[in-house]
Structure 1
């Protein structure tokens, strides 16, 4: 056998051996690894800039969620754009909210824990992600504490294209299916708040950046309701396309648009920006935002 072929065989064997050892090595370092629809998911503990313990979810190399692990902080938002969402909604009289994209269920947990009698529907397309949220991001603890621990979950009939199952657990309804399909179905009903926190790779939920997406949101939003979106975009320059698209699409449908920028000091860098569309006049100073329309 030629030396080059022998070297290639040895390298292949080493690579295969390392791949087989990877789960064991990750577990030894306190990392949970699980296969999901969109790639390998990793769950691991770290700390924020202030040294507060946090837990992170990364899927296929992209951070999807983060939460605090201290018992007194479990339901508080860690991400800046989630905190901006919370500030925008402060004092609002919410009865029903829809969150598209579960991930670690960070913002749904905040809504359920901090708003009495609020019913929250969460649409997550990947059941493996929801299981990770149950096992490692305190979703089951939230349900036990706020959603009626004495009641068994109820399977809810739902004939919506792209939706696999719907499970009602007290004030939280877990929908396994496609967020766009759920939103465009007439059965979805009206919400005072619709949150788009779903994205695949580096882009938000595709159709939601279009005029059709804006119109569908408006159809299912109560008068003076809020549409909140995590828009991963630069504020200026060649990487600002997603923000420009959202502004154009929702500006033709809603009276007011607001933005809480992630990186205002470096506008050409991509950040996670809190985008707000509503027909309600808001005081930007209350949530640190700027008016887009």
Structure 2
């Protein structure tokens, strides 16, 4: 008698073992598929790190928190990963193709990098306080400077305050610390400097914090300085983008809809701006919080 088990029985016995071993290996692969650290250095406000996920997503973190400052897929440069950056594109949509644009806060340079491809005629500048962040953006986020994008290293508030009146058509306020907007960039005095640095028919786009109290105070401060203020919600987060103008009645539904409709089509832009900004709301009720002041 052959002491070996029948061949079919042997296959049936081995199969569960193979499946179990395969699942264990797959589990190990999932557990060990951690992001790769591409860059880590001490910056002006804590460690600056660039991580790359297994799917190729690169993320910028500043400080000890878990809040992403930037996120890009280097192989898909027309894709704006963070939703608030897509909402913020209503600003460039409202100005001329060759408008003068300032970004206060660079991070990984996701927005200016995207606009270099979608709106290449824009004349852009960015001011970033931390040179280590600029180094990370150049090395790992594809930041490319030249005649259409100049990067200045310095304090954003001082840079705006020193600018000649009417220097920019659009100012994007996107400076964020580990968890919040730097206090010096939230006050009435700073926003008044922003207004002076804007063209008379210019626009401001601001990334607002998630805290209800902070949000209410910032909206009140914007509305003290700018006659026209609108709020755009970021659907997947408790976050808002504010849009403001020195001109009264500059942000009506029809104007925002027309600007969004004129933006490059979704295939070229990577998303549908009309859908993103469809929930914009002009703020005209009395402010519900105290205005933020220097020294307050």
Partner Cα distance (1:182, 1:188) in 2: 12
Residue 90 of structure 1 is aligned with which of 85, 89, 93?
93
Gaps of 5+ in 1: 1-27, 144-168, 234-238, 265-269
What value does the CA root-mean-square deviation take over the aligned residues?
2.3
Q: CA deviation at 1:263?
A: 4.7
| Distance change (3 Å), C-alpha of 1:248 and 1:133 | same
Q: CA deviation at 1:272?
A: 3.3
Partner Cα distance (1:82, 1:205) in 2: 19
Whether 2:281 is the aligned partner of 1:290: answer yes
Instruction: Say which structure is richer in strand.
Output: 1
Higher Cα Rg, which structure:
2
Which residue in the other structure is 1:34 paired with?
A: 41
Secondary structure at the counterpart of residue 57 of structure 2: strand
Which residue in the other structure is 2:13 paired with?
A: none
Partner Cα distance (1:200, 1:194) in 2: 19
Partner Cα distance (1:188, 1:80) in 2: 32
Partner Cα distance (2:117, 2:132) in 1: 24
Which residue in the other structure is 1:63 paired with?
A: 68
| Distance change (3 Å), C-alpha of 1:68 and 1:90 | same
Q: Is the 8 A contact 2:166 2:200 kept in 1?
A: no
| Distance change (3 Å), C-alpha of 1:29 and 1:250 | closer
Whether 2:80 is the aligned partner of 1:77: answer yes
Secondary structure at the counterpart of residue 88 of structure 2: helix
Residue 218 of structure 1 is aligned with which of 183, 186, 195?
195
Partner Cα distance (1:119, 1:232) in 2: 28
Secondary structure at the counterpart of residue 66 of structure 1: strand
Gaps of 5+ in 2: 1-33, 258-273, 285-296
TM-score, scaled to structure 2? 0.69
Partner Cα distance (2:223, 2:72) in 1: 32
Which residue in the other structure is 2:186 paired with?
A: 209
Which residue in the other structure is 2:218 paired with?
A: 246
Secondary structure at the counterpart of residue 97 of structure 1: strand
Q: Is the 8 A contact 1:210 1:245 kept in 2?
A: no
Q: Does 1 or 2 have the higher relative contact order (CA < 8 Å, sep 6+)?
A: 2
TM-score, scaled to structure 1? 0.69
Partner Cα distance (1:204, 1:29) in 2: 27
Partner Cα distance (1:57, 1:109) in 2: 15
Which residue in the other structure is 2:239 paired with?
A: 272
Q: CA deviation at 1:110?
A: 2.1
Which residue in the other structure is 1:261 paired with?
A: 233
Q: CA deviation at 1:53?
A: 4.0
Moved over 4 A (4+): none
Partner Cα distance (2:139, 2:99) in 1: 28
Task: Give matches, 1:112-261, under 5 Å.
Answer: 112-140=116-144, 143=145, 169-187=146-164, 190-233=167-210, 239-261=211-233
Aligned residue pairs total 223
Secondary structure at the counterpart of residue 133 of structure 2: helix
Q: Is the 8 A contact 1:196 1:205 kept in 2?
A: no
Secondary structure at the counterpart of residue 204 of structure 1: coil
| Farther-moved stretch of structure 1 (176-185 vs 246-255) | 246-255
